[in-house]
Amino acid sequence: MSFALRTRHSVLPGFGLALGFTVLYLSLIVLIPLSAAFIRTAGMSWEAFWRTVTAPRVLASFELSFGAAFIAALINAFFGLIVAWVLVRYRFAGKKLIDALVDLPFALPTAVAGIALTAVYSSKGWIGQYLEPNGVKVAFTPLGVVVALTFIGLPFVVRTVQPVLADLGRELEEAASVLGATRRQTFVRVILPAILPALITGFALAFARGVGEYGSVIFIAGNMPMKSEIAPLLIVTKLEQYDYAGATAIAVVMLVASFLLLFALNLLQWWARRRGGQDS
């Protein structure tokens, strides 16, 4: 094993097998296929690549895809935490049903989600008809992209935070309150540090999922060049012109950007965990 194994957990068996299988499967399913995109792009000259990915329309679409995904992930992190909290800690009528419904954005085909959201938020829709007179246009604007991505990423934060929160024994909180901590102090000092890794994970996943989302967004975005056109749509556009290299060039930029962001978040988490570990 070329991986340097620190001795802390070495009592447990199965490291080689588990890691070996993980890496093999990862390579077969993810890494080798993804490398195809990189190799196809490598056929381009550097100038051609740079020209493709810095075209104003492409830059505008990156801005929209990453920006909208980030905002949507923030919305999901905040409200998702509240939803997870409510589902784990409180009892109220219909809780089971709501718990079950949270996963629906995964189950619903993205195209259906897009159609349903457009129907609801367009000027004649159930919600849109009340928003539009107040100057809030959702369907066919960048705001529509945020709405679609919020829907798509909704389960991530809830479902990553929920099990950790459920697992968190009440004793620590009770101890904190016995020792005189206020409820807020307990939340900030005891609960939040424990669920923070899961919260960050949920945020990162919602964000990452949103960046590449296509099916639901094209229905609600309006797809106007420079304004409400997402990056994956430009990939499709390039493909329509049999420009495989151009399409993979945009794909590669998106891949690298999401990889770096995810990597940064994972490092942050690892750091937070180590710090947390030293504290206790």
Partner 1 sequence: MSATFALPMAEYRFPVRRRASGESALVKWSLIGTALAFLALFLFVPLAAVFHEALCKGLDAYIAALAEPDALASIKLTFFVAALAVPANLVFGVAAAWAIARFEFRGKSLLLTLIDLPFSVSPVISGLIYVLIFGAQGWIGPWLQSHDIKIIFALPGIALATVFVTFPFVARELIPLMQEQGSEEEEAAIVLGASGWQTFRRVTLPNIKWGLLYGVILCNARALGEFGAVSVVSGHIRGQTNTMPLHVEILYNEYQFAASFAVASVLALLALVTLALKSYVEWRVRHETSDPVTVGPQE
Partner 2 sequence: MSSRYYSWIGALALVAATAAQADSTLLNASYDTTRELYRIFNTAFAKHWKTKTGETVALKQSHGGSGKQGRTVIDGLEADVVTLALAYDVNALAEHGNLIPKDWQKRLGHNSSPYTSTIVFLVRKGNPKAIRDWDDLVKSGTSVVTPNPKTSGGARWNYLAAWGYALKKFGNDEARARDFVGKLYANVPVLDSGARGSTVTFTERGIGDVLISWENEAFLALKELGPEKFEIIVPSISILAELPVAVVDKVVDKRGTRKLAEAYLRYLYSDEGQDIAGRNYYRPRDAKAAAKYAKTFPKVDLFTIDEVFGGWQKAQKLHFDDGGLFDRIYQAKK
Task: Kindly list the residues in this chain that would bind partner 2 in the complex (CB under 8 A).
Answer: 55-57, 118-119, 122-124, 139-140, 218-219, 222-226, 233, 236-243, 246
Whole-angstrom Cα distance, residue 180 to residue 122? 52
Which single residue is written with the structure tokens 């794909």? 251
CB of 24 to partner 1, least distance (A): 9
Whole-angstrom Cα distance, residue 11 to residue 31? 31
- For partner 2, the closer of residues 5 and 224 by Cβ is 224
* Partner from partner 1, partner 2, none binding residue 37, C-beta < 5-8 Å depending on class: partner 1
Secondary structure class of 94 (helix, strand, coil) = coil
Whole-angstrom Cα distance, residue 213 to residue 152? 8
CB of 46 to partner 1, least distance (A): 21
Whole-angstrom Cα distance, residue 223 to residue 233? 8
CB of 83 to partner 1, least distance (A): 4
- For partner 1, the closer of residues 53 and 108 by Cβ is 108
- For partner 2, the closer of residues 99 and 243 by Cβ is 243
CB of 50 to partner 1, least distance (A): 20
* Partner from partner 2, partner 1, none binding residue 256, C-beta < 5-8 Å depending on class: none
Whole-angstrom Cα distance, residue 34 to residue 27? 9
Whole-angstrom Cα distance, residue 10 to residue 234? 49
* Partner from partner 1, partner 2, none binding residue 29, C-beta < 5-8 Å depending on class: partner 1
Whole-angstrom Cα distance, residue 116 to residue 135? 22
